[in-house]
Amino acid sequence: MASSLSDKNILVTGASRGLGRALCVGFARQGARVAFTYGRDDDGAAETLAAVEAVGTAARAFKVSVLDGPGTRKMLNELDKDWGTLDVLVNNAGVNENLPLALLDEHDWDKVLDTNLKGAFLMARAVLRLMIKRKSGVVLNIGSLAGARMLEAPIHYCASKAGLVGMTEAMAKEVGRHGIRLICLAPGLLEDGMGRNLPPHRLEAYLHHCSLGRIGRYDEVADFAAFLVSDANGFMHGETVIMDGGV
């Protein structure tokens, strides 16, 4: 039986570590060809390449910011030349700063909103132009429980992830007629990132409200993401799916 993502070409942003790396590996295990972007971490990007190649699939790495328009166009031109098509974009690149409102200045706000929301918009706009020509494709935006529920979390991070929900819905309405699907996946706390950086009392409070009583694993999210972007999930469109263990 063919894997669920056989013959699919997938681009993941922000994949030099963490969830981005797990997404690349998970997609590759399902038979996809994978390319990914990263910002500065050359060693981390090399580790992602090695992890993907360990499951028997070659990967492509591009050192380009999601805010770099010319760099993005150059990357997409290369992928179009080498692959011919791009079936899936996963907007995963993101940053966070654990700052309270009183210490949050304009620079902090701009940094997080630019990367998490504007960067996703710019990447999606560039890729959708290619997908519309082919009348097919999937864009998966990686949101957060913090953008869909009232949680104690940095305001600028929450705003950026809530913006992804609205952007997913608006884009879905506009491009659905071209055979393109938009989905937002909003995980709860995971094994690294915010899950590692939370003060102990905050983590305990989260786990108290989580029905499963634990934080999530990267591989769990990656496996579910692989289903979301697959043809087996062809009728889901414009939705935000929360994966949080029952908070």
Task: Show which residues are catalytic.
Answer: 157
The phi and psi torsions of 119 (rounded to 5 degrees) equal -60, -40
Other Cβ atoms closer than 10 A to 46: 13
Report angle CA 31, 134, 168 to the nearest 5 degrees: 80
C-alpha–C-alpha distance, residues 238 and 140, integer Å: 10
Maximal CA-CA distance, the chain = 56
Two tokens, residue 139: 């864009």
The phi and psi torsions of 191 (rounded to 5 degrees) equal -70, -10
CB 221 within 8 A of CB 244: no
Burial pattern 207-235, b for ≥16 Cβ within 10 A else e, equals eeebeeeebbebebbbbbbbebbbeebee
Distance between start and end Cα atoms, the chain: 36
